[in-house]
Each structure stands twice: as structure tokens, then as C-alpha cells.
Amino acid sequence: MLIDLIEILQKEEGTKKVQTKVEREKFLAAKFEYKITDSDVKFVFTNAGKKHINVKCTGNVIIEAPCFRCLEPVTFTINIDSTKDMDMNKTAEEKIADLDEENYLEGTVFDTEVFVFNEILVNLPMKVLCKEDCKGICNRCGANLNKGFCDCDTAVPDPRMSKILDVFNQFKEV
């Protein structure tokens, strides 16, 4: 959702409250794609004077992601509680020089989607697990080890015998 902040800047003590949902269905990170199942986000924009606007964002976003070990879908909630001070006096060149990462603000137009996605990215856990003691999947057949054991041979051969095993494997009939 795009919000024009010009009317807030024109009032001395201007305030605007907006409640929205994330419109996109997916969140794309570097290697993963997460499904957004539900969201409820509230914004409060307040004129702080001298062309400064304070943004207060609260809410939560419910995301479905694959478990890091077993790849089963896991639903978790990301709570957003963020406050930003935006200086509307800065030009585009000054923002670049200051390494200001306000990619959600272009002129006086505020993009709520980009702001929320930045907050999701910051609050996203490194590893999503279905449970703390998740056993993962078998590295040979791909069976989910949380549901039961597979019939794969898990015996680890003695590394001192690896050369003899190579000889036997060469003469093995296919």
C-alpha cells in the first residue's frame, strides 16, 4: 500500500493511522521462498516538525516455511515493533552519501509493503525447525526420520579398509 505523506507534513501536529495487511502472498529471501498466510500491521505517522516524520509500526506476520532439517512446512509468527524517524529534507544524493537505507520512501510516498518486508528480513530466524529435536531426512533415501526409520544401511565402514572396499567395488557386477 502506498501512502502519500504530504498532508501530514502540511499540518503542524499531523497524525495518520493506517491498518493494513501484506498484499503479497510470498516473501522471497536469498535462497528461500516463504508463504505469507496472514498479517495484521498498523502504522502511525506523526509530524515531528521541521519536515521530520516519525513512523511507528506494530503488528505480526504469519509465515509458512520449510523446516531446515526435514523440509516439512512450519508456521511461525514474526512480531513487528519498529520506530523510524524520516528526514524529508534530505535529497536523493544526501541519502546515498549517508548510506540511508530508506528504500520504502520515495519523495513523500511511503511504501508499507517494502517497510514490512525489511522488518521481516531483519526478524527472520536463521533456521526454522519444526521441533527442537527434529531428526531430519535420510541422506540416502530421503525418508523423514521423524515419522520412522528407513531400511538404509547406516553402518559406517572402517576408514582403514577403504582401499580394500574400492577394489571389491571395482569388480562388483552391475
Q: 165 in a domain, yes or no?
A: no
Print the domain residue range for 43. 2-123
What Å distances lie between residue 29 and 11, 60, 81, 88, 101, CA to CA? 38, 18, 21, 29, 18
Q: 43 in a domain, yes or no?
A: yes
C-alpha angle 104-30-33 in degrees, rounded to nearest 5: 90
Percent of residues, the chain, with pLDDT higher than 70: 91
Task: Give the pLDDT of residue 42.
Answer: 95
Is the pLDDT score of 99 beyond 70?
Answer: no
Q: What is the mean pLDDT of the chain?
A: 84
Is the pLDDT score of 4 beyond 80?
Answer: yes
As for how many domains the chain has, the answer is 1
Q: 142 in a domain, yes or no?
A: no
3 state SS of 5: coil
Q: 39 in a domain, yes or no?
A: yes
- Which uninterrupted H or E stretch holds 61? strand 52-66
Is the pLDDT score of 74 beyond 80?
Answer: yes
Q: Give the residue with greater pLDDT, 95 vs 57.
A: 57
Determine the average pLDDT of the residues in 147-155: 80
94 pLDDT band, cuts 50/70/90, is: low
Instruction: Quickly list H helices, the chain.
Output: 6-10, 92-97, 112-123, 162-170
Q: What are the backbone angles phi and psi of residue 136, rounded to the nearest 5°? A: 85, -155
Task: Give the pLDDT of residue 32.
Answer: 76
41 pLDDT band, cuts 50/70/90, is: very high
Q: 144 in a domain, yes or no?
A: no
Determine the average pLDDT of the residues in 5-10: 81
101 pLDDT band, cuts 50/70/90, is: low
* Cα(113)–Cα(146) distance, integer angstroms: 37
* Cα(74)–Cα(88) distance, integer angstroms: 40
Percent of residues, the chain, with pLDDT higher than 90: 24
Output DSSP code: residue 126.
S
Q: 84 in a domain, yes or no?
A: yes
Is the pLDDT score of 165 beyond 90?
Answer: no
Q: 40 in a domain, yes or no?
A: yes
Please list, in sequence order, all residues whose beta carbon lies within 8 angstroms of the beta carbon of residue 149, skipping any fewer than 6 positions away.
none
Determine the average pLDDT of the residues in 94-123: 78
CB 54, CB 45: distance < 8 Å: yes
Determine the average pLDDT of the residues in 131-144: 88
